[in-house]
């Protein structure tokens, strides 16, 4: 064969005129591809997280076909491959346990195969960060295509949001203000189409982060999954990845420090999920950008929330798209963003959002009249969280952001559930609920149990929020005055492990403090009495707890931090 295209990584497989080249070409051509399919054309991998066990990604087979069309139109050759798909709604003990495993699957699948560029199909919460992390460790030209949010839920003539509505209605049932029959009826009304949660949960937040980072085409974040414009964007992304290979536009040229700073500010402006904190820290660690937990507070603390979207507000992602989507929102804060940041379409962020119109000011508020003031993620520190803890002020009750109360401690999620409905539980709305052993090592995997349900006796008084503190995460669809990601976690002997019921805790979000009113001497004495919880003794769970970093570092595995690139491996035969 003669090579009429520039030298490609894939040609180390397909160009050779020997036994190995015969094997690589012949087996790949089995479906009936002509031999010139491998004649120097860019080989584009389509990394697909389709799975029936991940309902949010159930439309990805069709979406991949539109990507393939675009790749072929641009002169590339598409090859789709599956990777692990940790679905948020089904997998136990938590999808977060498998985020790093899925990232390893992505990384090794890319590095080990004849690929010149990659399209990432991602949607459900952990599929987005895991694909970005794995691809970042390889560094090939890469573009993201999110699956899009599902259509608005409709229940009794009103819109209901996935996740957010579940948490709200389940508390109403426990409080006696909603019947079990109505709760069951809502099941069929909430999830009406393909796509991920249509609230500003973690999936929507991370789709926005992909676009804010510059890793997708403009408009990627908000197009509903069932809208034909989602398929069109997928096809255009297929065309674009071929051009990116021609331009050698690799991930490290897009994922710069400026890009991460843009994402932090955008996350505040959309009222985004606290989960974006651990995910962006992990992605930055893979690409080699220095990003710290404190940067979230320093860069985003003064940012207002402009987006009136559940769980912080009223509307849903479908409404956000019709209002102009993320380009319209970013145009409102363009002077606060690094406009020169390069994006996947080869243009700067400023060029992408220039003149982006807003069609609904109820949904996207102007900067001079924000939905909420100072809505960025707040990082709290003190003797209860020496390495930091996270709170989302835009989802909290303002009167609780400064609070001093008596701790009511639950040693595990099972103890919490066992005691929650007990009328003899010694708790009232002024107490602070403390949940232990739900962090990266403790659960294991740092489950989304930090938004603890309130005790029944409190709900029945009409109370809907209390201060809650844990080393866990919470769903991005959740809300409340919830302190999360407390580091170091209880399972490794962090101060959280030493809290006892009756201790006084003081929190002041304005001062960024979280203090346990117990002397250092008493804490040292308690530490001598502390016994570590049992750990997994085999398989991936053991590897995970042996190597996972704490939340303030992104909860990645220590041996995965950094990038190994994508050199051509030695031959397989």
Cα gap 212→224, rounded to integer Å: 18
Whether 161 and 290 share a structural domain: no
Instruction: Spell out the residues 6+ positions from residue 83 whose beta carbon is closer than 8 angstroms to its own.
Output: 47, 48, 49, 102, 105, 106, 109, 131, 134
Whether 406 and 474 share a structural domain: yes
In a domain, 362, yes or no: no
Whether 169 and 224 share a structural domain: no
CATH number at residue 88: 3.40.50.2300
Contact 497, 511 (CB under 8 A): no
User: Among 353, 370, 390, which residue terminates a domain?
Assistant: 353
Pull the structure tokens for residue 491: 């399972």
Whether 161 and 255 share a structural domain: no
What confidence score (pLDDT) does residue 191 get? 86
Pull the structure tokens for residue 565: 């690139």
Which letter does DSSP use for residue 105 in this model?
H
What would the pLDDT profile of 448-491 be if each residue is shown by its tens digit?
999 999 999 999 999 999 999 999 999 877 889 999 999 999 99
Cα gap 490→506, rounded to integer Å: 19
Contact 487, 550 (CB under 8 A): yes
Whether 166 and 146 share a structural domain: no
What confidence score (pLDDT) does residue 187 get? 85
In a domain, 483, yes or no: yes
Q: How many domains does the chain have?
A: 3
Whether 306 and 198 share a structural domain: yes
Domain residues for the domain of 70 are 42-152+192-353
Q: What is the DSSP string of 315-363?
A: B-HHHHHHHTHHHHHHHHTGGGS-TT-B-TTSSBHHHHHTT---S-TTT
Whether 159 and 81 share a structural domain: no
Could you say which residues of the chain have pLDDT below 50? Answer: 1-5
Whether 236 and 322 share a structural domain: yes
**Cβ-based neighbour number of residue 301 at 10 Å:** 17
Instruction: Spell out the residues 6+ positions from residue 82 whose beta carbon is closer than 8 angstroms to its own.
Output: 48, 49, 50
In a domain, 561, yes or no: no
CA 271, 273, 277, 282 torsion-angle sign: negative
In a domain, 568, yes or no: no
CA 340, 342, 346, 352 torsion-angle sign: negative
Q: Which residues pair with 143 in a beta bridge?
A: 119
Q: Could you tell me the maximum CA-CA distance found in the chain, to the nearest angstrom?
A: 81
- Residues in the chain, total: 573
In a domain, 36, yes or no: no
Whether 103 and 246 share a structural domain: yes
What confidence score (pLDDT) does residue 5 get? 46
Cα gap 460→456, rounded to integer Å: 6
Q: Which residues pair with 504 in a beta bridge?
A: 406
User: Among 304, 338, 353, which residue terminates a domain?
Assistant: 353
Q: Which residues pair with 385 in a beta bridge?
A: 382
What confidence score (pLDDT) does residue 6 get? 54
What phi, psi does 264 have (nearest 5°)?
A: -65, -45
Ordered alpha helix ranges (H), 49-126? 60-73, 99-111
Whether 270 and 418 share a structural domain: no
Place of tokens 């990584």: 9
Cα gap 113→251, rounded to integer Å: 18
- Percentages helix, strand, coil for the chain (3-state, rounded to 5) are 40, 15, 45
Contact 141, 249 (CB under 8 A): yes
Cα gap 536→441, rounded to integer Å: 9
In a domain, 37, yes or no: no
Q: Are strands 43-48 and 77-82 parallel, antiparallel or unpaired?
A: parallel
Pull the structure tokens for residue 354: 């220039």
Cα gap 572→16, rounded to integer Å: 14
Whether 491 and 458 share a structural domain: yes
Whether 342 and 463 share a structural domain: no
In a domain, 371, yes or no: no
In a domain, 541, yes or no: no
Contact 128, 201 (CB under 8 A): no
Contact 434, 411 (CB under 8 A): no
Pull the structure tokens for residue 445: 């995997």
Helix/strand/coil (H, E, C) string of 211-271? HHHCCCCCCCCCCCCCCHHHHHHHHHHHHHHHHHHHHCCCHHHHCCHHHHHHHHHHHHHCC
């Amino acid at each position: 064969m003669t090579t009429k295209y520039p030298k490609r990584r894939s040609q180390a497989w397909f160009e050779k005129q020997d036994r190995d080249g015969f094997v690589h070409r012949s087996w790949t051509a089995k479906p009936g591809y002509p031999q010139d399919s491998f004649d120097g054309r860019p080989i584009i991998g389509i990394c697909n997280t389709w799975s029936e066990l991940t309902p949010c990604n159930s439309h990805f087979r069709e979406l991949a076909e539109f990507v393939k069309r675009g790749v072929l139109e641009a002169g590339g050759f598409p090859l789709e491959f599956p990777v692990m798909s940790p679905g948020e709604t089904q997998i136990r003990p938590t999808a977060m346990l498998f985020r790093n495993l899925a990232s390893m699957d992505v990384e090794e699948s890319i590095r080990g195969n004849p690929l010149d560029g990659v399209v990432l199909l991602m949607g459900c919460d952990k599929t987005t960060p895991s694909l970005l992390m794995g691809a970042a460790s390889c560094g090939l030209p890469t573009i993201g295509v999110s699956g899009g949010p599902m259509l608005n839920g409709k229940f009794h003539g009103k819109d209901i949001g996935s996740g957010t509505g579940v948490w709200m209605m389940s508390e109403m049932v426990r409080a006696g203000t909603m019947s079990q029959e109505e709760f069951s009826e809502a099941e069929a009304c909430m999830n009406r189409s393909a796509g991920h949660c249509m609230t500003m949960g973690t999936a929507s937040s991370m789709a926005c982060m992909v676009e804010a980072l510059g890793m997708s085409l403009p408009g990627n974040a908000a197009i509903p999954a069932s809208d034909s414009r989602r398929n069109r964007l997928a096809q255009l992304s297929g065309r674009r990845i071929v051009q990116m290979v021609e331009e050698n536009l690799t991930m490290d040229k897009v994922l710069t420090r400026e890009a991460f700073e843009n994402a932090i500010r955008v996350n505040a402006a959309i009222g985004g999920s606290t989960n974006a904190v651990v995910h962006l820290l992990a992605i930055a660690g893979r690409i080699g950008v220095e990003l710290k937990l404190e940067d979230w507070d320093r860069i985003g603390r003064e940012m207002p929330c402009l987006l009136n979207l559940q769980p912080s507000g009223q509307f849903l992602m479908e409404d956000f798209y019709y209002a102009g989507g993320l380009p319209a929102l970013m145009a409102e804060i363009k002077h606060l963003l690094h406009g020169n940041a390069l994006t996947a379409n080869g243009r700067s962020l400023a060029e992408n959002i220039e003149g982006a119109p807003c069609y609904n000011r109820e949904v996207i508020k102007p900067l001079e009249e924000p939905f909420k003031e100072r809505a960025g993620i707040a990082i709290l520190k003190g003797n209860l969280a020496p390495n930091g803890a996270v709170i989302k002020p835009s989802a909290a009750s303002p009167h609780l952001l400064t609070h001093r109360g008596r701790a009511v401690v639950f040693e595990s999620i099972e103890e919490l559930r066992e005691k929650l409905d007990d009328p003899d539980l010694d708790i009232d709305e002024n107490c602070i609920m403390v949940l232990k052993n739900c962090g990266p090592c403790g659960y294991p995997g740092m489950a989304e149990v930090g938004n603890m349900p309130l005790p029944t006796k409190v709900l029945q008084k009409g109370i809907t929020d209390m201060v809650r503190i844990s080393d866990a995460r919470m769903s991005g669809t959740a809300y409340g005055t919830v302190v999360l990601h407390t580091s170091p976690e209880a399972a490794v002997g962090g101060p959280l492990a030493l809290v006892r019921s009756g201790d006084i805790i003081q929190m002041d979000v304005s001062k960024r403090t979280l203090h346990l009113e117990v002397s250092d001497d008493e804490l040292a004495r308690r530490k001598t009495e502390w016994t570590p919880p049992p750990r997994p003794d085999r398989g991936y769970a053991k590897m995970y707890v042996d190597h996972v970093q704490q939340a303030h570092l992104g909860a990645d595995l220590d041996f995965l931090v950094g990038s190994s690139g994508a050199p051509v491996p030695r031959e397989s035969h």
